[in-house]
């Protein structure tokens, strides 16, 4: 801002009359002028300086220390002007300026140095440390250097160089092929990448394991499992005694024992007494409760407060339960009742407070009894009764356990081992309670909460976990960075020491031990063998001879290998190197498993473990064990599964399609990646995940729209309430879970291999001998092409997926397929839930003639074919009697129970699929014992802990034909077949569509332009599309088809609606009909509705179809499509990428161009002219510095460029992120501006003038010295190539030659000087400003925001935000 502006802005008269300060609402006075220091407008535009300062002071913001203060509302920095001392000289003393600038230079150098050092450490230092420390440990383990006699080298390189042939580290092959005499920057660079990958993977693994452990330990089931293993710490009596002791420290042991005995007896008596009047009590409670609920909210709250207050007491009351009495069902209730009864007589305040408890109890009782009623309703079903018992017992057990876990926590947290009961104020037996103790609720409890507060674990945790906050105060200071780096190195070395070195040592020892054992075994076997061969003493020597003959030769090499391993311990193979570690870890895991089992041996729910320390150890060991189990399962499911699926997909689909049907030497996926093979895993993972997602979508569609609910009960539905992944994987035995996973993967694999492979491997290439289905395009490793194709395919897929009509048609197709095939297979009842009488049996015919050749007439010959079914014998008899009837209907098959919902519980399924009669009587009673046994076997030891929701359990009765299984398999085959038909036909259709469009483009262009390159290209494309399927064409065709389809579908729907409207208006008398119709439409399920729509769509009854209208509509549609695409996020994303690439390309090429011009021609010319002894200018091999190898040189050049590109990308990404919702036009403008500012200016100032000069002078040269050159390119070549070389030294120089090089130098120098000047003046200005600020500044004063600057921007971006009314 210029100085005149500033003066103008600070004039107080600037504010209009009536403007008020936004804080004090006062007007401008002569003392206190109003300012508008930010972008706010309207009534809050102005502010007094003092008010602002006051407000800032109240927020603890000081204007002197913070560089810029942002306005609360518009978030623009508030404009301050620094006030200077009056006696500040106009021109600052030079010395001062000099020293201060030197200081600031040093400062900034220091800052930059620090930052770059930090970056260096982060990018290269830490991986290097990791690398070196790892190698050091390896050296220590080996006792020898990988590269003999060169310690440091072997520290850095390790076994990489030796590794080249083994192939285990393919990264080494691509990067490390240098001669090792040079400092190799590339190596350090790649060390960075490689080791960072390692570090990141290790960190991810550790974090995953930790969180897994955390989740497992927090899982409620885990506590129950521990309870199951080691039981409670105290029996009821002990607990009670402890409580008593706590409460009455003066009591001696004898009286304690006495009271405890009394209590137990009382409990027993009470239990018997209260069993009778339980129901009565409940009813009363219930009424009371409802009444209470009707009252106003205040009372409601009040009650809640009380409840909160009493929660600890309730808790306490529960403590009194005997953990080992839970087979007595109503124990809990009695206890509570007892408490109530006892307290009736106490004071009123006590009454009040116990009221709350009563309600709690009432609620519980209520829910219990509701549950009971619910169960009673279903009691006639035996299998449910089993469930119910289980659940009752389970619930009680859970309750007991919750309490118990609570205790445990308390005890574990209490370091001095004193058992502490929750809220020690209250524990006391009801009988001895003289007065209600004054209980002051902690503040957290006082908050109103409507429901029963959660178990108080959280609170206890919160109380205990008040730790002093760890202050992470990382400062980027020079000395600090070194310290951080040292700390990082230390922690790395420590980490590697613990996780790699020690396990290796242990593993080595273990291997020795195992080898010893194996050797012993081997020796004994050999001894036995010798023994048996030498003396034919025992009968079984035949076995030994067989063994020796057949097996031993196979086994002995293994021994040999192992011995070899022992002797020549470390070769550089990755597997052998990691063997000791693996051995050690697996031994440790095994030990954990064994020891946890050993500790818990002899303990169970009834017989609790007493020792607190032992309990803790067991908990940790068991936790680790469970974590590993869950981790293995999750790993298989989330990583192993998709990767395998991807591999199979590659094998059966991509390799045959993309590569060549007959060469299976290399998979497509591995061809795709030359640089780093392990990346194949990522690709396979992505492919597999996509495939599984797609499969799940298909299943979901079928489940939702087509088949009867309950058919797919074995595939988990997303809305299944029984899914508790963690709990499931904890509870069920590992073996069963893995076998389940293996089974499902087996099915997946078969689907993939057979489903795809039978087409791609067998049908197309071999049976049909078609080359058509080979996609040749995707073999190339041209990254850009593959990227474009993939994004195109992806967006096409997204586009087609988003069309409602496409979904609708696909659903119709499948509906039809399912209906037809289930009809043919007589599975309608089972699959679709539609019971057809005609499917309940088969028709027998008189003879084969009627059966195969004359079916319809035979069926017609029997008037009541289906109404009068016969048994086969009867039918045969009738055939004999009645010669006119040739067919009879013979019912067969049976009715079975099947689950009626997809979310039935697992145990319930075991009782399904049993034959029943028509009125739902079991044909033979369920073998309940067997079912129970099977359930137990499936669920393992902890199975009873699982509470599956049984509310969706229910069955329906469907018809199942004989040979059900083969019919079902046939159905699956049919579905597969039709899926293939759908896929292939739609692909072909899309391809044909786009071919036709190409052809339609080709003919006119050919006619108009003749045979140009464009027509050739089109012709080539058409030829190609006739010979091969092509992904691009399929996608294009797919998009076009989908859009057309959608448009037509919408149009017809509209016409249909209009017609309906007209129809209804005209035929008012048929109102009844219409209502019926509507009614039907309402009742009918989705399928029917869609059928109707489809019918109307298919019937050409709407004759008013107008071709032009249709064309209009499609043009509109296309327009809309076009605009949609342009405004869509993906288009903007591509725009962003294009601009990004453009920026980089222009920037990099300009820089290269300038560098080349400057060094080759500029320096070359100067050296040639003025230093004649400088024979060899920096020409051609201008990059040949000898200290660095070529790769390093490349790194030197590439690294800054990469950094620059990185920085540009970040800025660009930021630009994109903040503007991504902008209309495309403005986005382009923004991008263009950025491009212009950053790179184009340089290009315009340097490259373009240079090119201009060159062209001009070359032309001049050519026209002036016409005789020496044949054509213009020759001149250019001469200038470019040989004018500055030594060969042309004796050719005389012309003026234009001089001019060419001089102009180049001048232009570059000008650019350099301008930049340097700008930099220096900028620097100088900053220096002056900083000196002024440091020495002469008095303070800051407000300044007005410039009114007219960036008017356009402020209109759109910075309107004053209306404060949203969000409440707290």
Partner 1 sequence: MSRTAQKRLLKELQQLTRDPPPGIIAAPKTESDLFTWDCLVAGPPDTPYAGGLFNCQLQFPTDYPLSPPTLTFTPSILHPNVYPNGEVCISILHAPGSDPNMYELPEERWSPVQSVEKILLSVVSMLSEPNVESGANIDACILWRDHRDDFNKKVKRDVLKSLGF
In the complex, the residues that contact partner 1 under the rule CB under 8 A are 20, 22-26, 44, 51, 54-55, 58-59, 72-73, 296-298, 300-301, 304, 448-450, 1361, 1363-1368
Q: Least separation, in Å, of the C-beta of 188 and partner 1?
A: 42
> How far is Cα 1275 from Cα 1259, in angstroms, rounded to an integer?
8
Closer residue to partner 1 in complex, CB, 306/996 = 306
- Tell which residue, 851, 852, 878, 854, has the closest CA to residue 864: 878
Q: Least separation, in Å, of the C-beta of 1365 and partner 1?
A: 5
Q: Least separation, in Å, of the C-beta of 342 and partner 1?
A: 31
> How far is Cα 492 from Cα 121, in angstroms, rounded to an integer?
14
Whether the CB-CB separation of 1140 and 1209 falls below 8 Å is answered with yes
The SS3 assignment for 955 reads strand
Closer residue to partner 1 in complex, CB, 47/657 = 47
> How far is Cα 164 from Cα 170, in angstroms, rounded to an integer?
8
**CA–centroid distance for 960 within its chain:** 42
Q: Least separation, in Å, of the C-beta of 444 and partner 1?
A: 14
Mark residue 634 as left, alpha or beta (left: phi above 0; alpha: psi -120 to 50; beta: remaining).
alpha
Whether the CB-CB separation of 896 and 913 falls below 8 Å is answered with yes
CA angle 138, 140, 141 (to 5 degrees): 65
Q: In the structure encoding, which two tokens stand for residue 974, read together? A: 């049919």
Q: In the structure encoding, which two tokens stand for residue 352, read together? A: 């009040």
> CA-based diameter of the chain, in Å?
135
Closer residue to partner 1 in complex, CB, 602/1364 = 1364
Q: Least separation, in Å, of the C-beta of 471 and partner 1?
A: 18
**Dihedrals phi, psi of 182, to nearest 5 degrees:** -95, 155
DSSP state of 454: P
**Dihedrals phi, psi of 417, to nearest 5 degrees:** 80, -5
Q: Least separation, in Å, of the C-beta of 26 and partner 1?
A: 7
**Dihedrals phi, psi of 574, to nearest 5 degrees:** -60, -45
Q: Least separation, in Å, of the C-beta of 442 and partner 1?
A: 18
Q: Least separation, in Å, of the C-beta of 310 and partner 1?
A: 18
Closer residue to partner 1 in complex, CB, 24/1276 = 24
Q: Least separation, in Å, of the C-beta of 1358 and partner 1?
A: 13
Closer residue to partner 1 in complex, CB, 25/475 = 25
Closer residue to partner 1 in complex, CB, 296/883 = 296
At a CB cut-off of 8 Å and minimum separation 6, what does 36 contact?
A: 14, 15, 45, 46, 47, 1344, 1345
Q: Least separation, in Å, of the C-beta of 355 and partner 1?
A: 18
The SS3 assignment for 1257 reads helix
Closer residue to partner 1 in complex, CB, 25/924 = 25
Q: In the structure encoding, which two tokens stand for residue 420, read together? A: 């502490």
DSSP state of 943: G
> How far is Cα 59 from Cα 772, in angstroms, rounded to an integer?
74
Q: Least separation, in Å, of the C-beta of 304 and partner 1?
A: 7
> How far is Cα 353 from Cα 308, in angstroms, rounded to an integer?
10
Q: Least separation, in Å, of the C-beta of 356 and partner 1?
A: 15
Closer residue to partner 1 in complex, CB, 48/605 = 48
Closer residue to partner 1 in complex, CB, 443/1100 = 443
Whether the CB-CB separation of 1284 and 1168 falls below 8 Å is answered with yes
Closer residue to partner 1 in complex, CB, 1069/1365 = 1365
Q: Least separation, in Å, of the C-beta of 51 and partner 1?
A: 7
Alpha helices in 1220-1240 (DSSP H): 1224-1235
Closer residue to partner 1 in complex, CB, 863/1367 = 1367
- Tell which residue, 332, 325, 329, has the closest CA to residue 363: 332
Q: Least separation, in Å, of the C-beta of 668 and partner 1?
A: 49
CA distances from 180 to 186, 630, 984, 1010 (A): 12, 47, 56, 61
- Tell which residue, 1257, 1020, 1240, has the closest CA to residue 1149: 1240
Closer residue to partner 1 in complex, CB, 296/417 = 296
At a CB cut-off of 8 Å and minimum separation 6, what does 343 contact?
A: 350, 351, 354, 430
Rg of the chain over CA atoms, in angstroms?
Answer: 43
Whether the CB-CB separation of 732 and 940 falls below 8 Å is answered with yes
**220-230 and 612-635 are packed helices; what angle lies between their axes, rounded to 10 degrees?**
130
Closer residue to partner 1 in complex, CB, 75/697 = 75
Closer residue to partner 1 in complex, CB, 791/1358 = 1358
Closer residue to partner 1 in complex, CB, 58/67 = 58
> How far is Cα 1073 from Cα 1067, in angstroms, rounded to an integer?
10
Closer residue to partner 1 in complex, CB, 1101/1366 = 1366
Q: Least separation, in Å, of the C-beta of 1340 and partner 1?
A: 20
What are 1337's strand-pairing partners?
A: 84
Whether the CB-CB separation of 949 and 394 falls below 8 Å is answered with no
> How far is Cα 1165 from Cα 1174, in angstroms, rounded to an integer?
11
- Tell which residue, 131, 34, 103, 24, has the closest CA to residue 1335: 103
Q: Least separation, in Å, of the C-beta of 448 and partner 1?
A: 6
Q: Least separation, in Å, of the C-beta of 80 and partner 1?
A: 19
The SS3 assignment for 83 reads strand
Closer residue to partner 1 in complex, CB, 72/287 = 72
Instruction: Return the sign of the alpha-carbon dihedral for residues 938, 941, 947, 951.
Output: positive
Q: Least separation, in Å, of the C-beta of 31 and partner 1?
A: 14
Go through the chain and tell me how many residues it has: 1368
Closer residue to partner 1 in complex, CB, 45/708 = 45
């Amino acid at each position: 801002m210029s100085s005149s502006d500033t003066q103008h802005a600070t004039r107080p008269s600037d504010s209009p009359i009536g403007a008020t300060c936004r804080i004090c609402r006062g007007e401008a006075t002569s003392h206190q002028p109003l300012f508008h220091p930010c972008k706010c407008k309207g009534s809050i535009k102005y502010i007094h300086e003092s008010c602002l300062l006051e407000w800032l002071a109240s927020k603890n913001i000081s204007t002197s220390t913070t560089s810029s203060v942002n306005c609360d509302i518009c978030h623009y920095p508030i404009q301050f002007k620094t006030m200077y001392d009056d006696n500040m000289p106009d021109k600052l003393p030079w010395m001062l300026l000099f020293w201060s600038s030197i200081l600031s230079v040093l400062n900034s150098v220091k800052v930059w140095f620090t930052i770059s050092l930090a970056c260096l450490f982060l990018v290269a230092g830490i991986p290097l440390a990791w690398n070196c420390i790892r190698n050091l440990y390896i050296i220590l383990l080996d006792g020898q250097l990988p590269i003999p006699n060169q310690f440091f080298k072997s520290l850095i390189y390790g076994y990489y160089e030796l590794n080249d042939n083994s192939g285990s580290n393919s990264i080494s092959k691509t990067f490390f092929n240098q001669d090792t005499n040079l400092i190799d920057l590339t190596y350090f660079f790649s060390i960075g990448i490689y080791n960072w990958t390692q570090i990141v993977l290790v960190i991810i693994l550790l974090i995953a394991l930790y969180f897994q452990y955390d989740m497992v330990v927090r899982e409620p089931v885990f506590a129950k499992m521990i309870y199951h293993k080691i039981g409670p710490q105290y029996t009821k009596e002990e607990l009670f005694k402890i409580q008593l002791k706590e409460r009455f420290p003066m009591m001696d042991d004898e009286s304690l024992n006495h009271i405890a005995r009394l209590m137990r007896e009382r409990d027993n008596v009470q239990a018997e007494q209260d069993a009778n009047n339980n129901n009565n009590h409940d009813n009363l409670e219930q009424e009371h409760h409802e009444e209470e609920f009707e009252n106003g909210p205040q009372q409601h709250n009040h009650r809640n407060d009380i409840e909160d207050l009493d929660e600890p007491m309730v808790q306490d009351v529960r403590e009194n339960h005997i953990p080992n009495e839970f087979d007595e069902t109503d124990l809990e209730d009695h206890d509570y009742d007892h408490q109530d009864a006892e307290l009736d007589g106490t004071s009123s305040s006590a009454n009040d407070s116990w009221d709350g408890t009563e309600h709690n109890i009432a609620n519980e009782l209520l829910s219990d009894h509701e549950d009971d009623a619910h169960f009673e309703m279903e009691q006639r079903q035996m299998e449910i009764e089993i469930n119910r018992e289980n659940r009752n017992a389970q619930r009680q057990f859970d309750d007991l356990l919750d309490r118990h876990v609570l205790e445990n926590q308390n005890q574990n947290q209490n370091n001095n081992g004193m058992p502490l009961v929750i809220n020690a104020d209250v524990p006391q037996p009801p009988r001895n309670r003289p007065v209600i103790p004054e209980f002051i609720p902690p503040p957290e409890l006082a908050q109103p909460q409507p429901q029963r507060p959660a178990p108080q674990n959280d609170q206890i945790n919160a109380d205990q976990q008040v730790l002093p906050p760890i202050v992470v105060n990382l400062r980027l200071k020079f000395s600090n960075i070194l310290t951080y780096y040292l700390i990082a190195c230390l922690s790395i070395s420590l980490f590697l020491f613990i996780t790699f070195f020690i396990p290796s040592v242990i593993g080595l020892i273990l291997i020795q031990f195992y080898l010893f054992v194996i050797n012993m075994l081997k020796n004994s076997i050999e001894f036995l063998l010798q023994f048996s061969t030498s003396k034919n003493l025992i009968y079984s020597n035949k076995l030994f001879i067989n063994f020796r003959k057949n097996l031993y030769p196979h086994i002995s090499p293994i021994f040999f290998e192992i011995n070899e391993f022992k002797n020549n311990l470390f070769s550089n193979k990755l597997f052998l190197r990691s063997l000791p570690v693996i051995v050690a870890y697996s031994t440790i895991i095994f030990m954990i498993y064994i020891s946890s089992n050993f500790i818990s041996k002899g303990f169970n729910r009834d017989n609790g473990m007493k020792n607190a320390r032992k309990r803790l150890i067991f908990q940790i060991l068991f936790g680790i064990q469970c974590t590993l189990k869950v981790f293995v399962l999750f790993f298989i499911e989330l990583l192993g599964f998709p990767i395998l699926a991807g591999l199979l997909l590659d094998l059966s689909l991509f390799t045959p399609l993309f590569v060549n049907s007959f060469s299976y030497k290399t998979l497509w996926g591995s061809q795709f990646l030359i640089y780093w093979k392990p990346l194949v895993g990522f690709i396979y993972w992505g492919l597999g995940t996509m495939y599984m997602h797609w499969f799940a979508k298909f299943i979901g569609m079928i489940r939702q729209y087509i088949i009867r609910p309950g058919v797919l009960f074995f595939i988990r539905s997303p809305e299944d309430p029984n899914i508790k992944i963690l709990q499931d994987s904890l509870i069920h035995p590992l073996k069963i879970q893995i076998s389940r996973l293996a089974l499902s993967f087996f099915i997946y694999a078969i689907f993939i291999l057979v489903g795809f492979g039978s087409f791609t491997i067998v049908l197309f290439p071999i049976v049909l001998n078609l080359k058509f289905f080979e996609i040749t395009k995707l073999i190339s490793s041209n990254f850009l092409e593959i990227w474009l194709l993939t994004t195109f395919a992806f967006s096409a897929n997204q586009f087609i997926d988003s069309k409602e009509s496409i979904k609708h048609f696909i659903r119709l197709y499948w509906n039809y397929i399912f209906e037809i095939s289930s009809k043919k297979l007589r599975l309608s009842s089972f699959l679709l839930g539609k019971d057809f009488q005609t499917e309940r049996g088969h028709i027998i015919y008189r003879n084969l003639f009627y059966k195969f050749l004359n079916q319809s007439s035979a069926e017609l010959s029997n008037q009541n074919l289906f109404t009068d079914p016969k048994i086969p014998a009867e039918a045969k008899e009738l055939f004999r009697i009645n010669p006119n009837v040739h067919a009879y209907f013979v019912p067969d098959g049976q009715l079975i129970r099947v689950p009626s919902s997809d979310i039935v519980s697992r145990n319930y399924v075991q009782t399904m699929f049993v034959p029943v009669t028509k009125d739902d009587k079991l044909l033979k009673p369920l073998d309940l014992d067997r079912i129970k046994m099977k359930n137990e076997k499936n669920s393992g030891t902890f199975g009873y802990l699982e509470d599956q929701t049984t509310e969706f359990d229910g069955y329906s009765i469907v018809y199942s034909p004989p040979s059900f299984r083969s019919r079902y398999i046939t159905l699956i085959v049919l579905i597969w077949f039709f899926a293939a038909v759908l896929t292939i036909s739609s692909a072909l259709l899309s391809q044909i569509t786009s071919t036709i469009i190409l052809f339609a483009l080709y003919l006119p262009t050919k006619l108009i332009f003749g045979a140009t390159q464009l027509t050739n290209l089109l012709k080539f494309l058409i030829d190609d599309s006739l010979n091969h399927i092509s992904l691009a064409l399929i996608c294009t065709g797919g998009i076009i088809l989908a859009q057309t389809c959608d448009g037509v579908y919408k149009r017809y729907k509209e016409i249909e609606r209009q017609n309906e409207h007209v129809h209804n208006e005209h035929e008012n008398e048929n109102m009844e009909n219409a209502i019926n119709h509507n009614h039907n439409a309402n009742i009918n399920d989705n399928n029917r509705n869609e059928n109707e729509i489809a019918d109307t769509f298919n019937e050409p009854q709407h004759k008013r179809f107008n071709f032009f209208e249709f064309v209009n509509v499609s043009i509109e549609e296309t327009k809309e499509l076009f605009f949609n695409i342009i405004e869509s996020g993906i288009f903007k994303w591509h725009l962003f990428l294009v601009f990004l690439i453009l920026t980089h390309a222009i920037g990099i090429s300009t820089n290269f161009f300038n560098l080349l011009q400057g060094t080759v021609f500029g320096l070359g010319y100067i050296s040639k002219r003025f230093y004649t002894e400088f024979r060899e200018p920096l020409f051609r091999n201008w990059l040949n510095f000898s200290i660095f190898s070529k790769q390093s040189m490349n790194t030197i050049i590439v690294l800054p460029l990469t950094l620059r590109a990185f920085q540009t990308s970040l800025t660009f990404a930021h630009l994109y992120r903040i503007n991504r919702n902008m209309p495309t036009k403005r986005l382009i403008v923004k991008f263009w501006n950025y491009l212009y500012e950053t790179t184009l200016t340089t290009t315009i100032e340097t490259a373009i003038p240079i090119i201009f000069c060159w062209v001009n002078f070359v032309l001049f040269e050519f026209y002036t010295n016409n005789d020496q050159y044949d054509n213009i390119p020759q001149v250019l070549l001469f200038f470019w190539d040989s004018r500055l070389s030594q060969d042309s030294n004796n050719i005389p120089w012309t003026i234009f030659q001089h001019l060419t090089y001089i102009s180049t130098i001048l232009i570059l120098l000008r650019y350099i000087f301008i930049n340097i000047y700008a930099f220096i003046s900028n620097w100088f200005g900053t220096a002056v400003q900083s000196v002024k600020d440091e020495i002469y500044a008095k303070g800051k004063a407000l300044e007005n925001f410039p009114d007219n600057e960036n008017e356009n921007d402020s209109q759109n971006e910075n309107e004053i935000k209306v404060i949203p009314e969000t409440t707290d």
